Amino acid sequence: MSSLWIVVIGVVVIYLAYTFYAKRIDRTVIQADPNRATPARMYMDGADFMPTSRFVLYGYHFKSIAAAGPIVGVITAANLWGWLPSVLWLMIGVSFIGWASDYSAIMMAVRNDGNSLSAIAHRLISPRTRRILFVFIFFYLLLIAGAFVGIMAGILAARPDVPFGILVLALAGLFAGYAIYRLRMSIVGVSLLTVALTLGAMALGPLGATFTPGKPTDWSTGPISGIVNSINASINSGGEIYRVTDPTFADPRIPAPVDGKRSDTATYVAATNEIKVLPNFLFWSIALLVFSYLGANMAIWRFAQPVNYIGFWITAIVIGVSAIGALIAPFVTLPNATAPAGAFALQDAKGFMGATAVGIQPLWPMLFVTIACGAISGWHALFGSIGTARQLEYETDALPVGGGGMFSENTLGLLSLTAVAIVGTGAGAGAFAAGVGRLIHVASFQTIPLPLGTALGFGAFVVIVLTVVQLVFRVMRVTLGEWLGDRWVGFKNQHVASIVGMVITMALVLSGTWVYLWQLFGASNQLLAALSLLLVTVWLRSVGRNPAFAGIPMVFMYVTTMAATIVTAYNLYATIATQPGQAVISIAGAWAMIAVSVLLFVAALLIAYDAWIAWNRLRAEPTPAAAPASG
Amino acid sequence: MDWMTEPATGPRSAVRPRGLRAALREFAYGMTGYEFARHALETRAALENLFMVVVVGDMIGLPVIPPYYALRLLPFVTPEIATWKRRVLREREFSDQHEYHLHGV
């Protein structure tokens, strides 16, 4: 297998699924009608409801949903089960479930006067469903923040070449917001300047460091990485704080095995498979929270939006160049290599139970929550319905925008998989960055050196994750205020709500095991998707349409994700909570995450019960005649 | 960008740019400037809401300005009354807030 085949398979499968399945559902079940007035045209208010060209909307929707989810999930899954199961789920998941979830949620909102899914759930199922949504959303945000802050702090602590790019990104973001909104400078000019500055800073990070094959990089020789390295060394002078374990070896701080064995590093003890939590990990975690605090509390135009915008371009450039590299890599053999650069070195399948030292990682259900957004995402459905649905000019635009956006996001997942698979060793972000580095090296006809390409891969990874995290905290403080603001008015204060969210996140980062955090996030995300499909199923039943295309995937996702929460809770119990020799902080974190698993499980059960009641109520009512397709 | 801000009133072909180049231009705009344009429009709408409440707030039960000034300004704000009423009288969910826009989450 090679990168070119992945591109070919991806294009063919997406074309077939879109042309022969998605369009058929759009035409025969939903019966999208270009002559029916959409909420954007009926309630045009110049702000929320506004008819917009489908090409503009597709660009906006794709940019909005394309984030770190399809990248992180895929590289973790490929590490645990091999590349083949990951490719299969990416292809099957997006073809039969992913696009259907995003598209049908948007269409349901369009047909219900642009109401959000929570309002529709309140009306169609029960008021309790809407309240449970708060719980889901809050824990979804908490888990994604914990997983992302943990992985980024690990990278920043281990790679002295990355922080400089992040610092420049923050400054460039501040400048871009001021220049566009206050100085009214051209967006094109500001974009070119700030993106070039940030890319330049990312390239300067590793400049001068000594890269020797087979040996650890000497960062002290670089002008910028040397300074960061000195800061790290002085912070770490007090030694480790405590140790945690990751039975799945998916934590980015665990080094790749060489000849089947992992060696000791500054943060890893191979003999006991323990990760040392050093003071600089704590330092970078706090630095990330400070960055996120600014994004969560400053006016959105001043920081979060322009930082996100610059980050998008950095990622788009790196991913775009990598995609070109993936196309030509099978035909290029690098010096000192025996196989083409695009040949897959990663094992195709690692067995049903996955690569784990202790605990269990069965392919079903764990693969389906580990790969989250690349195949299906509840977040897209839940909040695409309030943004995109209110801007659709014609009903027939929903498929290319909603469905097409999800298919496009799937290609990000495939590219991440390619990057990891051609490197073959390593875990998490390290494998992704090494793969991206090789693809950039190939795409640039070997003019960009491998270490610089890898540094850009790391930088792009951190940028895309960081831009997401600051917005996660922004949404989290609003959710907390809405959910608990009536109990204590302090939660309605944005600074208090932000700090509460960050303190809980920090506790998770310091006490939790990264891979379990990620898998719990995936479970909450997929449960949101199942909930969205459940709503669509009930809605289709209420209007006399065949709900099978949403109902069957809904049952699969519901059962799978609920099983996954049980497996994760068991893993936490068996591998950390009851294991002798674990640090107290790890045990406390494991129990907290077990409690979250139980909470998600019970919440999902309650929603399913309420939906069953609603379904039976609708069955008892006479089936309304399906509306004509047009006229 | 009239095709973006104006509501569609004509047949489909009349309000759509034609050709691959136009489609790509719109796609690029959607990925870049559209978010900024939307935010600017939302800000303007929020300021307009405030202004309309001050001028013709009595229409929704808020008599906050003497009717004389409201009458002087009425001809200028009349075209906006319908959209303003739609904006302020619409029932809102928590997820309607700006923070919940996707933004890459």
pLDDT score for B6 = 44
Residue B24 forms part of a structural domain = no
Percent of chain A topping pLDDT 70: 97
The confidence score (pLDDT) of residue B3 equals 42
pLDDT at A64 over 90: no
Decide if B36 is inside a domain.
no
The reply to whether residue B87 touches residue A47, judged by beta carbons under 8 angstroms, is: yes
Which range has the top average pLDDT, A21-35, A43-57, B8-22? A21-35
Tokens of B25: 């231009």
pLDDT at A227: 95
What is the value of ipTM here, to two decimals? 0.83
Residues of B in contact with A187 (CB under 8 A): 32-33, 36
- Which is more confidently placed, A356 or A320? A320
Do the chains contact at B104 and A468, CB–CB below 8 Å?
Answer: yes
Lowest mean pLDDT among A20-34, A492-506, B42-56, B63-77: B63-77
B contacts of A115 (beta carbons < 8 Å): 93
pLDDT tens digits for range A515-566: 888 888 888 889 889 989 999 999 999 888 999 999 999 999 999 999 999 9
Nearest to A147 by CA among A606, A596, A611: A596
Type of residue numbered A319: I
- Residue A569 CB burial class (10 angstroms; 0-12, 13-18, ≥19): buried
Q: Please compute the mean of the pLDDT values over residues A431-448 and round it to a whole number.
A: 88
**Does some domain include residue B77?**
yes
Q: How far apart are the C-alpha atoms of A376 and A531, rounded to whole Å?
A: 12
Q: Residue B65 sits in which domain range?
A: 50-105
Per-residue pLDDT at B14: 43
Number of domains within chain B: 1
pLDDT for the residue numbered A423: 78
pTM of the predicted model, to two decimals?
Answer: 0.87
SS3 of A476-516: HHHHHHHHHCCCCHHHHCHHHHHHHHHHHHHHHHHHCCHHH
For residue B88, give the chain A residue with the closest CA. Answer: A45
A:B CB pairs within 8 Å: 165
For residue B11, pLDDT beyond 50: no
A611 vs chain B: nearest CA distance in angstroms? Answer: 21
- Bridge partners, A52 (sequence order): A392
User: How high does pLDDT run on average in chain A?
Assistant: 88
Q: How far is C-alpha A140 from the geometric centre of its chain's CA atoms?
A: 11
| Residue B43 forms part of a structural domain | no
Could you read off the pLDDT of A358-414 as tens digits, one per residue? 778 899 999 999 998 889 988 888 778 888 899 999 999 999 999 999 999 999 899
Side-chain-facing half-sphere of A347: CA atoms under 13 Å? 13
Mutate to test the interface with B, among A45, A305, A498 (most CBs of B within 10 A): A45
- pLDDT tens for A394-403 read 999 999 999 9
Residue-level pLDDT at A185: 92
pLDDT tens-digit map of A454-470: 888 888 888 888 888 88
pLDDT of A631 above 50:
no
Mean pLDDT of A277-300: 93
Partner residue opposite B94 with nearest CB, options A41, A467, A482: A482
Q: Are residues B105 and A59, on separate chains, in Cβ contact within 8 Å? A: no
| Most B-contacting residue of A35, A43, A49, A56 (CB-CB within 10 A), to test interface | A56
Q: Which of A50-54, A60-64, A614-618 has the highest mean pLDDT?
A: A50-54
At residue A553, the pLDDT reads 95
Decide if B17 is inside a domain.
Answer: no
Is residue A630 scored above 50 in pLDDT?
no
pLDDT of residue A559: 94
Q: Which residues of A touch B104 (CB under 8 A)?
A: 63-67, 308, 311-312, 464, 467-468, 471
Rounded Cα distance, A562 and A551, in Å = 16
Q: Is the pLDDT confidence value at B102 over 70?
A: no
Residue A170: which of A288, A285, A293, A307 has the closest Cα?
A307
What pLDDT band is residue A164 in, cutting at 50, 70 and 90? very high
CB neighbours of A88 closer than 8 A, spacing ≥ 6? none
pLDDT at A422 over 90: no
Q: What is the pLDDT of residues B48-94, one digit of tens each?
A: 988 998 888 888 888 777 778 888 888 998 888 888 888 888 888 77
Span A298-313, pLDDT tens digits = 988 899 889 988 988 8
| Share of residues in chain A with pLDDT > 90 (%) | 42
Is pLDDT above 50 for A628? Answer: no
Q: Please tell me the distance in Å from A561's CA to the nearest CA on chain B.
A: 20
Picking from A55, A67, A482, the nearest residue to B27 by CB comes out as: A55
Going from N- to C-terminal start, the domains of chain A cover 3-620
Give yes or no for residue B19 having a pLDDT over 90.
Answer: no
Of B4, B28, B43, the CB nearest to A53: B4
Q: Is position B39 within any domain?
A: no
pLDDT higher than threshold 80 for residue A103: yes
Average pLDDT for residues A333-354, to the nearest whole number?
84
Residue A253, helix vs strand vs coil: coil
Q: Is the pLDDT of residue A501 over 70?
A: yes
Interval A64-73 mean pLDDT: 82
Whether A53 sits inside 8 A of B83 (CB atoms) is: no
Question: Can you tell me the mean pLDDT for A278-304?
Answer: 92
Q: Find chain B residues with C-beta within 8 A of A386's C-beta.
A: 93, 95-96, 100
Q: Which residue of A has its CA nearest to B105?
A: A468
Q: What is the Cα–Cα distance from A376 to A97, expressed in whole angstroms?
A: 7
CB atoms within 10 A of CB A91: 20
Among left, alpha and beta (phi > 0; psi -120 to 50; other), residue A281 is: alpha
Taking residue A580's Cβ as centre, other Cβ atoms within 10 Å add up to 4
Indicate the residue of B27, B40, B102 with minimum beta-carbon distance to A387: B102
At A225, is the pLDDT very low, low, confident or very high (cuts 50, 70, 90)? very high
Least confident interval from A46-50, A432-436, A473-477, B1-5: B1-5
Res. B7 pLDDT band, cuts 50 70 90: very low
The one-letter amino acid code at A36 reads: R
Residue B99: pLDDT band with limits 50, 70, 90:
confident
Entry field: residues in chain B:
105
Of B26, B93, B104, the CB nearest to A56: B26
Instruction: Express each pLDDT in A519-530 by its tens digit.
Output: 888 888 898 899
Q: Report the range of poorest mean pLDDT among A293-297, A301-305, A428-432.
A: A428-432
